[in-house]
Amino acid sequence: MSRNSYPHLACCVVGQSLGAKTTEIVEASIIEHAAKLYGSDAPTAVAFCALEAWFENKKDEYSFWLRIFRRLRN
């Protein structure tokens, strides 16, 4: 499955535009939207965003998506 399988999550756009200023409210909103868009596949969609950031060596963005992934899994 390619990263293009989850286009609506806007992996790069969201992560890069928020950077270090991400708040709990914004993270909660992203989690809510991911769950609405992808249902039980939301953790997978977010994992693809994290992997994309990892392979592009974007540590802050990777950490952001990893936090979102962990919250979705709980």
pLDDT at residue 11 above 70? no
More confident residue, 44 or 7: 44
What is the DSSP annotation of 2-70?
-GGG-GGG-HHHHHHHHGGG--HHHHHHHHHHHHHHHGGGHHHHHHHHHHHHHHTT-HHHHHHHHHHHH
Q: What is the pLDDT of residue 17?
A: 53
Q: State how far the Cα of 63 lies from the Cα of 61, in Å rounded to an integer.
A: 5
Q: Read off the pLDDT of residues 49-62 as tens digits, 9 standing for 90 and up.
A: 999 999 999 998 89
Q: Pull the structure tokens for residue 66.
A: 């990893």
